[in-house]
Amino acid sequence: MKVICDVHIPLRLVTYFNKQGVHAEHVNNLPDKYFTTDKVISEYADKNDLVVITKDIDFRNSYYIKNSPKKLIRICLGNLSTTEIITIINTHILFLIDIYQKFISFYIEVEREKILVLSS
């Protein structure tokens, strides 16, 4: 699995993914860093077969209206600590990798008690 984390996703999550063998990047590594637009992030993700990981509902809207980004995981966990977010992701990491490998397009919401695959 390959992911790009949006600006509001902590860098520690990128480190976590890389330790799990998941190729992970952060938007802050792109040329425009924090100022990279959602459109540019989506195009970059689609071109490089990356899953966009975000808390931003605008990406969900873009997924349904423009079918971009093609692969999207939205973190719907409120104001949890980074450690708590990593713990929840870790519980479901194998499932997320499986979805990535099986589908060319998907939208997933990660909640505290469950993961919802809303489109694939």
| Domain containing residue 16: CATH number | 3.40.50
Nearest to 74 by CA among 87, 58, 93: 58
Domain that holds residue 36: 2-119
Domain count of the fold of the chain: 1
Residue bearing tokens 């939205």? 74
**pTM for this prediction:** 0.95
Q: Residue 25 pairs with which residues in a beta bridge? A: 4
For residue 79, what pLDDT is reported? 85
106: amino acid identity, one letter: F
100 phi, psi to nearest 5 deg:
-60, -40
Mean pLDDT, to the nearest integer, of 57-84?
95
pLDDT band of 120, cuts 50, 70, 90: low
pLDDT band per the 50, 70, 90 thresholds, residue 119: confident
20: DSSP letter: T
